[in-house]
Structure 1
Amino acid sequence: MNPTEPTVATAQSYFLAEGPTWDPVRERVLWVDIMAGTVQSGVLGPDGTIAVEEVIQFPDTAGAVAVSAGGELIVAGRHRLYVRDAAGSITAGPALVEGEGRRFNDGKVDPAGRFLAGTIDKSGPSVVEKLLRIEEDGSATVIDDDLTLSNGLAWSSDGRRLFSVDTGSSRIFVRDYDAATGDTGPRRVFATLQDGFPDGITTDAEDHVWVAVWGGACVLRFSPTGDQVDRVEVPAPHVSSVAFAGPALDTLVITTATEELSEEDAARHPLSGRLFTLRPGVAGLPSHLWRGVAS
Structure 2
Amino acid sequence: MAIVPEPVVFPSTSLGEGPVWDAARQRLWFVDIKLRRLFRFDPASSTLDQWDAPGEIGWALPAEDGRLLCGLQDGLHWFDPARGEFAFWQAIEIDMPSNRLNDACTDRDGAVWFGSMDNGCVAATGSFYRLSGERARRAGPGPFAITNGPAITPDGGTIYFTDTGARQIWAATVGADGLPEALRPFVRFTESMGFPDGSITDAAGNVWVGCYAGWAARCFDPAGEEIAKVDFPTANITKLAFGGADLATLYATSAHQDMTEADRAAQPLAGALFAFRPEVGGHPLPLVRAS
Superposition CA RMSD, Å: 1.7
Residues 226, 139 of structure 1: alpha-carbon distance in 2 compared, 3 angstrom cutoff: closer
Q: What percent identity do the matched residue pairs reach? A: 29
Inter-partner Cα distance in structure 2 for 1:186 and 1:148: 22
Amino acid at match of 1:167: T
Q: Which residue of 2 aligns with 1:51?
A: 47
CA shift, 1:51, in A, is 2.4
Q: Distance in 1 between matches of 2:136 and 2:188?
A: 32
Distance in structure 1 (CA, Å) of the matches to 2:77 and 2:158: 27
TM-score normalised over the length of structure 2? 0.93
1:160 equivalent in structure 2: 157
Aligned to 2:77: 82
Residue correspondence of structure 1 range 144-223 to structure 2 within 5 A: 144-178=141-175, 181-194=177-190, 195-223=193-221
Q: How many Å separate the matches in 2 of 1:213 and 1:50?
A: 26
Stretch deviating more after TM superposition (99-108 or 140-149): 140-149
Residue deviations 1:185-226 (CA, integer Å, cap 9, x gap)? 121111011120000111111111111000001000111100
The number of residues matched between the two structures is 287
Q: Tell me the CA shift for residue 142 of structure 1.
A: 3.7
- For residues 60-75 of structure 1, the aligned pairs below 5 Å read 60-75=55-70
**Where does residue 229 of structure 1 map in the other structure?**
227
CA deviation after TM superposition for structure 1 residue 3, in Å? 6.8
Deviation at 1:84, TM superposition (A): 1.8
Change (3 A) 1:124 1:106: closer
Q: 2:238 aligns with which of 237, 240, 246?
A: 240
Q: Cα deviation per residue 1:152-187 (whole Å; 9 max; x = unaligned)?
A: 221112100001111001011110113x63221121
Gaps spanning 5+ residues in structure 2: where? Answer: none
Which residue of the partner structure matches residue 26 of structure 1?
25
How many angstroms does 1:132 deviate by?
A: 0.9
Partner of residue 41, structure 1: 40
Asked if 1 retains the 8 angstrom alpha-carbon contact of 2:118 and 2:125, the reply is: no
Matched residues in 2 for 1:258 and 1:8: separation?
15
Displacement, 1:141? Answer: 3.3
2:134 and 2:275 map into 1 onto residues whose CA distance is 37
Alignment match, 2:133: 136
Check conservation: 2:121, 2:146, Cα contact below 8 A: no
Structure-2 separation of matches of 1:163 and 1:124:
20
